[in-house]
Structure 1
């Protein structure tokens, strides 16, 4: 007669602690991305219009560059 062990989780599945760890990792990544965008925005905003023109940007480009979104 065969017996099945039903007390173990399926191989490769994550338990409660694994899901909580993934949530913490995602939140930490989002916080780091927000902080990078904030620092980039502050640094570019501190430049003069002439300095922005020297690197091929205008004031309207700062948000796009800070968030990393591309414009087609």
Structure 2
């Protein structure tokens, strides 16, 4: 369940097409994260220090602990 992020966020071309595909890629990453975490049992989530309520925040990349 590990992934390597090879995209760079430092490239800013200003093209609406790049922006569109970047938005789609971000949405898909969030969707896949939610799907993977929702497959885990409450016990497995507890083992990694998470609750069901943390899943959305993690998918958005905003969890700070």
- Taking only aligned residues, the RMSD between alpha carbons, in angstroms, comes to 1.7
Runs of 4+ in structure 1 off by over 3 angstroms are none
The TM-score normalised by the length of structure 1 is: 0.67
Aligned pair count reads: 53
**1: CA distance, partners of 2:31 / 2:43:** 22
Choose 1 or 2 for highest CA Rg.
1
Instruction: Name stretches of at least 5 consecutive residues in structure 2 with no aligned partner.
Output: 1-12
> For residue 5 of structure 1, what is the aligned residue in structure 2?
none
The TM-score normalised by the length of structure 2 is: 0.74
1:70 aligns with 2:63: yes
Choose between structure 1 and 2 for higher RCO, CA contacts under 8 A separated by at least 6 residues: 2
Task: Give the secondary structure class of the aligned counterpart of 2:53.
Answer: helix
**2: CA distance, partners of 1:57 / 1:70:** 10
Task: Give the secondary structure class of the aligned counterpart of 1:26.
Answer: helix
Structure with the larger helix share: 1
Instruction: Name stretches of at least 5 consecutive residues in structure 1 with no aligned partner.
Output: 1-17
